[in-house]
Amino acid sequence: MAEAEPTWGGGVKPRAGHFIGGEWTPAGSGRRYANRSPWSGAVLGEVAAGDGDDANLAVAAAHQAFRDWSRALPAARQRVFLRAADLLESRQAEVLADLAAETGCGRHFATVQTDFAVRLLRQAAQLTYRPIGEVLPSDIAGTQAMAVRRPVGVVAAIVPWNASLALSGRAIVGPLALGNTVVLKPSEESPYTGGGLWARILTEAGLPAGVLNVVTHAPGEASRIADTLLASPLVKRINFTGSTPTGRRLAEKAGGHLKRLVLQLSGQNPLIVTADADLGYAVDAAVYGAFIHQGQVCMCARRIYVERPLAAEFIERFGARAAALPAGDPADPETVVGPVINEWALALLDRRVREAEGLGARVVAGGVPAPPCYPATVLTDVPDEAEIAQGETFGPVVIVEVADSAEQAVARANGSDFGLAASVITGDPRRGLALATMLDVGIVHVNDQPVNDEPHMPFGGVKDSGWGRFGLGFAAEEFCELQWVTVRDQDRAFPF
């Protein structure tokens, strides 16, 4: 049953969160929840509070659509992605407003997301023509052997709120371009920009009904959807972006179903500044890498290691820059530090900073909440036993540590259980590459900060930061089955 559509952010939005079989539908239970702005607290709309029954309907719709979509001509699939890219690009101003309203995303990072999403769609268009196999040599005379990639079927995508447009796009576009169908579960904090918006754009671009389905849920009820997707025999792959504790629980449950996962999880991303680095550039890179989107990006620098000769001046300049960053309304183009996503996140940030301070840490900048914002905060002298030094703290808080050498900094960085991204700022790029090879992470940027992504790059971490890789250049390895096929051009002689 279609429902009325409210207006907020950049325009009219579907009221219901579910998009199943090409239709906007309410939850089967009739339940809804309020989607609130993290900046103003205003109710943006009522969203379907789905459950396992809704997820099963979405999976069934995706399964039914798979046969025709997987057999569609590559040109037909390509047209959808090219049209979608044009539509999204033409509505950038609207989408920027949507991201600010729903997730508190300021102009800087919202533009990063929309640019990424447009490039993702255009690059995915060529993926429809990717060779699907190769001929293999065989030692059996008269046998021709092939390795053929085939789409797996229904892919489930579970995505977070923090880069809602980019991360949901990354989760669905590669699988779709390869001929799979998708059930997308966005975060309860971003049901539109992480879900409904993609359904709108791709449907308008010509994506057939049932190829992409969206199921939403109320706060605290994600497991109702996730457990159903994990248990369904029709779901062949799951990709998840989110915290390590949640990813670990998903992996444990998926193991019981022998279901393959792609996991991109938490990070405690180091940024290393060597003694020969350009100090001004290092400060600029660190400010951007630590505080873009108020530190709510999985790649943000969480710990900065500075070689001792530069440390005192770096800390002074970096702290001054952090203290001067404009905070407030994410709709204001000048805002750098907007609101954190909710009151729970704000309280967690403050508790961890207070605990570190009580254990002897020094607050160089920030450290005093201004609800719904938390200011850009710089800490030094943080003891290892502090909670903020051990896990991922998702917000505008960064630790600066003095290192006696770059090698000591690498050793300290490698002591973390996480291994997502890292960066090295140095005056000697060759030394930077040498240090990069020593870092136990999935991504290293030399003479850049760690917040980088491109649609075709292999994005993912090691250790407790996940397994598998996102990226269009590697999507076939994750979202296709590889089948060995042989054919003989003559009868074979058998020994009995």
Where do the domains of the chain lie? 15-265+461-483, 269-446
pLDDT of residue 130: 86
User: From start to end of 124-208, where are the E strands?
Assistant: 133-136, 143-151, 154-158, 181-185
Give this prediction's pTM.
Answer: 0.94
CA distance 256 to 43: 40
Given the structure tokens 């300049």, which residue do they identify? 317
Spatial CA neighbour of 418 closest among 446, 445, 449, 439: 439
Are 375 and 339 contacting, i.e. CB atoms less than 8 angstroms apart?
no
Which two structure tokens, joined as six digits, stand for 335?
């805002």
With cut-offs at 50, 70 and 90, classify the pLDDT of residue 131.
confident
> Is pLDDT of 2 > 50?
no
The Cα angle at residue 84 between residues 468 and 192, in degrees rounded to 5: 70
Assign 14 a pLDDT band (cuts: 50, 70, 90).
low
- Residue 391 pLDDT more than 90? no
Question: What's residue 409's pLDDT?
Answer: 98
* pLDDT over 90 (residue 484): yes
For residue 81, pLDDT over 50 is answered with yes
> Which CATH superfamily hosts domain 15-265+461-483?
Aldehyde Dehydrogenase; Chain A, domain 1 (3.40.605.10)
Both structure tokens of 225: 């959807």
Check if the beta carbon of residue 398 is closer than 8 Å to that of residue 356: no
Domains 15-265+461-483 and 269-446 are alike in CATH topology = no
pLDDT of residue 186 exceeding 90, the answer is yes
- For domain 269-446, the CATH architecture is 3-Layer(aba) Sandwich (3.40)
Q: Is the model's pLDDT at 106 over the cut of 50? A: yes
For residue 3, the model assigns a pLDDT of: 47
